[in-house]
Amino acid sequence: AEARVKEAEAQLAAAREAAAAAEQPLHAVAFSAEGGLLAAGGEDRLVRLWSSETGAAVDTITGHNAPVHGLAFAGLRLATAAPDGAAIVWNTSPEWTWIRTLSPSTGVMLVDRVTALDFSPDGSLLAAGSGDPSRSGQLVILNPADGTVVRELPDAHSDTVLGVEFSPDGVYLASCGADKFVKVFETATGSFVKAFEGHTHHVLGVSWRADGKVLASCGADNAVKVWDFTSGEQRTTIGGFGKEVTSIQFIAEGSLILTSCGDRLVRRHNVDNGQNTVNYGGGADFMYAAATTPDGKIHVAGGQDSVLRVWNGDNGQALFNFEPPPQTPPPAQAAR
Domain-wise residue ranges, the chain: 26-322
Overall average pLDDT of the 23-43 stretch: 85
Say yes or no to pLDDT of 8 above 50.
Answer: no
- Which architecture does CATH list for 26-322? 7 Propeller (2.130)
Q: How far apart are CA 327 and CA 220, in angstroms?
A: 33
Query: Where does the pLDDT of residue 99 fall: very low under 50, low under 70, confident under 90, or very high at 90 and above?
Result: confident
Edge-to-edge order in the sheet of strand 276-280:
245-250, 256-261, 266-270, 276-280
pTM for the model stands at 0.86
State the average pLDDT over residues 45-59: 83
The pLDDT score that the predictor gives to residue 92 is 79
What is the average per-residue pLDDT within 153-167? Answer: 96
Q: State residue 259's pLDDT score.
A: 98
Residue-level pLDDT at 289: 95
CA-based torsion, 237, 242, 248, 250: positive or negative: negative
Of the listed ranges 58-67, 77-86, 97-106, the least confidently predicted one is 97-106
In this prediction, residue 282 carries a pLDDT of 81
- Residue 109's pLDDT is 56
- Residue 21: predicted pLDDT: 43
Alpha-carbon distance values, 267 to 14, 69, 252, 273 (Å): 38, 21, 15, 15
Q: Which of these ranges, 32-41, 224-233, 235-244, 290-299, has the smallest mean pLDDT?
A: 32-41
Most confidently predicted of 111-125, 133-147, 180-194, 296-310: 180-194
